[in-house]
């Protein structure tokens, strides 16, 4: 006997519950589809340009803060050096030993004395203090340019590595296509299973390479964050464009600019000038300083009196002044030798960075105009040849490896251009960037 289907009567409240659950499930599905980047706390940080990175490093560097404070302190020294010694005020009283009216003596003396260095001494001391501040200024500039160089090197290292990672990930898709072709031809009996296995092994090796590159990227981000005085694991995105390649200043012009702008050269010259001033000052120390004074006397039962006085120093121990002159002269000679060393080092650094910059530019041009097009044509021809049975898989794989290598080397040449330009700036002592700063995308 066939059973009659039983009709289940559902409460309207149950239907409402089910509709509500359905809506919640739909909302959860929709929220799970929204990218994580839309969350306020998880949004990626804005891209950091090269100029912004340099500004952050210079703003927060404690060594620079220390030197800036020292320089500001030394800039207050010239006013101190030029000032006269404090005047001396004296009071004395004189009366009879027996029967005097102490402390209200019969004769009271008020004396004011001022010492004056010989003419020109104060000016020389002031100029020496200015040279000390100027020397520290060039030391500050030298440290500043060292930090800028480190930031730029780290920035371009990270930029190039991220470009390599992008190229490598694109090559993964190429290898996947190659493996697919090998599988298709194997399924039709045109190729052996060895081709499929080789393609899969190459894909695995590429994945290993990407893991290594990710580790290198993490290290470089930590290095750059450290230079920026941030935690090593702070999020870091770069807003970078390829370094400029239009630099064309001549080597002779760079030598001339380095001779007048290199901080080490300028610091040595400031020392030369400073010790020349000290030599003149020590020579004048043998000339006596003088002292002027005025005295007022209040005398009981007599007219008050005013007396003027002048005193002259007696520099009879002249050996120490002659030794001071010799000391300053030797230090001036030492500073001259230091300037010569700084100039030679500067010229060497300029020549080295300029040559490497030109070499990197030629290499990049060679990659872009010849090697990359040739490698692409070779790969395309080998792919066609493999599909028609004229090229074996290993030759086809070697063409892919060669193309990947050439593209990576082109990126490394770009990186080297940026680094060598930064080193050239450090060697010359001035910025050689055009108004369009790499890293700001021309903005």
Task: Please answer whether residues 141 and 210 qualify as being in contact, where contact means their C-beta atoms are separated by less than 8 angstroms.
Answer: no
pLDDT greater than 90 at residue 112: yes
Confidence of residue 25 (pLDDT cuts 50, 70, 90): very low
3-state secondary structure of 201: helix
Domains of the chain, residue spans: 53-97+110-428
Q: Under CATH, domain 53-97+110-428 is a member of which superfamily?
A: Outer membrane efflux proteins (OEP) (1.20.1600.10)
pLDDT beyond 60 at 408: yes
Query: Would you say residue 18 has pLDDT above 80?
Result: no
Rounded Cα gap, residues 239 and 242, in angstroms: 10
Average pLDDT over residues 65-92: 93
Q: Computed from CA positions of residues 358, 363, 367, 371, in that sequence, does the dihedral angle turn out positive or negative?
A: positive
Average pLDDT, the chain: 85
Burial class of residue 97 in the structure, from the number of CB atoms within 10 Å of its CB (0-12 exposed, 13-18 middle, 19+ buried): exposed
Condensed to tens digits (0 to 9), the pLDDT of residues 54-68 reads 999 999 888 999 999
pLDDT band (50, 70, 90) for residue 101? confident
pLDDT of residue 43: 41
Q: How confident is the model at residue 13 (pLDDT cuts 50, 70, 90)?
A: very low
- Round to whole Å and give the CA distance between 78 and 176: 73
Decide if 441 contacts 239 (C-beta within 8 A). yes
The stretch 423-427 carries a mean pLDDT of 94
Is 85 exposed, middle or buried, given 0-12, 13-18 or 19+ CB atoms closer than 10 A?
Answer: exposed
More confident residue, 108 or 434: 108
Contact partners, residue 383, CB within 8 Å, separation at least 6: 178, 181, 396, 399
Stretch (H or E) spanning 109: strand 107-116
- Closest to 369 measured CA to CA, from 410, 408, 333: 410
Q: What secondary structure letter does DSSP report for 287?
A: S
Strands ordered across the beta sheet of 88-94: 88-94, 107-116, 290-299, 305-312
pLDDT of residue 205: 93
Which phi and psi (to 5°) does residue 7 adopt? Answer: -90, 125
pLDDT for residue 300:
83
Tell me the C-alpha to C-alpha distance, in Å, between residue 183 and each of 225, 378, 442.
46, 22, 47
Q: Supply the pLDDT for residue 29.
A: 39
Q: What is the pLDDT of residue 421?
A: 94
Q: Which residues are within 8 A (CB) of 143 and not within 5 positions of it... i.e. 6 or more apart?
A: 63, 64, 67
- Determine the Cα–Cα distance for residues 165 and 155; give it in Å rounded to an integer: 15
Question: If you average pLDDT over residues 318-345, what whole number do you get?
Answer: 94
How are beta strands 305-312 and 88-94 bridged, if at all? unpaired
In the block, which residue shows the tokens 């010694």?
A: 85
Tokens of 116: 């004056």
Contact between 136 and 263 under an 8 Å Cβ cutoff? The reply is no
The backbone torsions φ and ψ at residue 116, rounded to the nearest 5 degrees and listed phi first, read -125, 120
Rounded Cα distance between 394 and 402, Å, is 12
Per-residue pLDDT tens over the stretch 131-181 = 999 999 999 999 999 999 999 999 999 999 999 999 999 999 999 999 999
E runs forming strands in 200-321: 290-299, 305-312
CA 113 to chain centre: 54
Q: How confident is the model at residue 252 (pLDDT cuts 50, 70, 90)?
A: very high
């Amino acid at each position: 006997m066939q059973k009659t289907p039983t009709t289940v009567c559902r409460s309207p409240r149950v239907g409402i519950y089910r509709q509500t659950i359905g809506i919640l499930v739909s909302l959860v599905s929709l929220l799970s589809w929204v990218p994580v980047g839309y969350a306020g706390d998880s949004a990626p940080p804005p891209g950091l340009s090269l100029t912004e990175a340099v500004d952050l490093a210079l703003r927060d560097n404690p060594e620079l803060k220390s030197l800036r404070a020292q320089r500001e302190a030394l800039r207050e020294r010239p006013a101190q050096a030029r000032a006269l010694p404090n005047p001396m005020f004296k009071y004395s009283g004189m009366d009879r030993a027996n029967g005097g009216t102490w402390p209200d003596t019969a004769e009271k003396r008020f004396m004011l004395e001022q010492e004056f260095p010989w003419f020109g001494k104060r000016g020389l001391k002031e100029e020496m203090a200015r040279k000390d501040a100027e020397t520290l200024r060039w030391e500050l500039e030298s440290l500043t340019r060292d930090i800028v160089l480190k930031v730029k090197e780290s920035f371009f290292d990270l930029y190039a590595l991220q470009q390599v990672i992008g190229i490598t990930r694109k090559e993964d898709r190429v290898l996947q296509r190659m493996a697919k072709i090998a599988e298709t031809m194997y399924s039709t009996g045109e190729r052996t299973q060895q081709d499929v296995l080789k393609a899969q092994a190459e894909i695995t090796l590429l994945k290993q390479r990407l893991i290594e590159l990710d580790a290198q990227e993490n290290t470089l981000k930590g290095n750059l964050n450290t230079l920026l005085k941030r935690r090593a694991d702070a999020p870091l995105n770069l807003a970078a464009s390829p370094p400029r390649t239009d630099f064309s200043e001549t080597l002779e012009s760079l030598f001339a600019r380095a001779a007048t702008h290199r901080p080490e050269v300028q610091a040595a010259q400031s020392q030369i000038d400073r010790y020349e001033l000290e030599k003149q000052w020590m020579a004048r120390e043998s000339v006596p300083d003088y002292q002027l004074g005025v005295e007022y006397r209040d005398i009981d039962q007599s007219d008050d009196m005013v007396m003027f006085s002048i005193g002259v120093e007696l520099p009879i121990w002249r050996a120490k002044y002659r030794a001071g002159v010799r000391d300053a002269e030797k230090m001036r000679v030492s500073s001259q030798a230091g300037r010569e060393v700084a100039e030679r080092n500067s010229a060497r650094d300029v020549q080295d960075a300029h040559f490497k910059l030109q070499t990197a530019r030629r290499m990049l041009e060679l990659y872009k105009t010849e090697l990359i097009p040739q490698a692409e044509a070779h790969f395309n021809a080998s792919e066609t040849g493999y599909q028609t049975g004229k090229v074996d898989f290993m030759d086809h794989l070697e063409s892919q490896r060669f193309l990947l290598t050439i593209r990576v080397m082109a990126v490394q040449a770009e990186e080297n251009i940026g680094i060598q330009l930064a080193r050239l700036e450090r060697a010359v002592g001035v910025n050689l960037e055009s108004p369009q700063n790499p890293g700001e995308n021309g903005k």
